[in-house]
Amino acid sequence: MKKSIPNPLAALTALTLCLWVAQAQAGRPLAVDDANVNEKGAGQVEVWVSRDSDKVDTWNVAPAFAPIEGVEIGVSYAKARRQGHAEQAIQAKWRITPSQENGCNVASTLGSVHEKSVGSSPFLVGILTCNSALGSVHVNLTRHNPKDEKSFNSWGVAFEREVGVVTPHVEIFGDEGGKPTLQFGAKTEIAEGLQLDGTVGRDRQNKANVFSLGFKYSF
């Protein structure tokens, strides 16, 4: 993790006034979250564009900051280019047990998605991460409570491993009762604190390809 720079909390607070998290936000480029958080006083800003199975491009901004040890507050804003559709939300992630270099730890994320004319929909994520010399495995189970709709679960499993200056990953995730998405991705640091990342995948439910490309700045 990177050391904090002067007034990072003030900068994040300003962003929070207009940004919320569009969904349970995992660390780029993973869709499946890991059970880690930033160190106290450190944060990040992620910016990326993604294309879904309907060939709609969505722009995303997601800053996060750890005000205290073991807790990270995240916000994000997502806007689909074609429809002008936007979603916002906020989430808090708690690392329940310490991260293990060789072993497992758990975390949980609680948040709420907000969409204009729809309202707010809360979600709760249980997260497990296991690290070893072979790489890291992440497992997610999420409970969604959509506004005026039936609650449902989603799940995800990811594996990533550092290979030189690049960290590739493979993951599979989906909603209960539906066909999952299989996705591959990679990340690399192109400058101090600046990460370039991307993913390509196949949405089996809608029989279409999906992808994303983005940057992450850590402070």
Tell me the CATH number at 193: 2.40.160.40
- What's 10's DSSP letter? H
Of the candidates 111, 132, 130, the residue with the CA atom closest to the CA atom of residue 122: 111
Is residue 56 assigned to a domain? yes
Is residue 100 assigned to a domain? yes
Q: Which two tokens stand for residue 30?
A: 């993973």
pLDDT tens digits for range 18-51: 333 334 678 999 999 999 999 999 999 999 999 9
Q: Which two tokens stand for residue 75?
A: 């916000």
Give CA–CA dist 182/200, Å, rounded: 9
Is residue 74 assigned to a domain? yes
Per the structure, the complete domain to which residue 210 belongs is given by 8-218
| Domains held by the chain: number | 1
Q: What value does the mean pLDDT of the chain take?
A: 88
pLDDT tens digits for range 59-80: 999 999 999 999 999 999 999 8
Is residue 122 assigned to a domain? yes
pLDDT tens digits for range 188-211: 999 999 999 999 999 999 999 999
Is residue 3 assigned to a domain? no
Other C-beta atoms closer than 10 Å to the C-beta of 137 total: 18
pTM: 0.86
Is residue 1 assigned to a domain? no
- What's 8's DSSP letter? H
Is residue 48 assigned to a domain? yes
pLDDT tens digits for range 126-172: 999 999 999 999 999 999 998 888 999 999 999 999 999 999 999 99
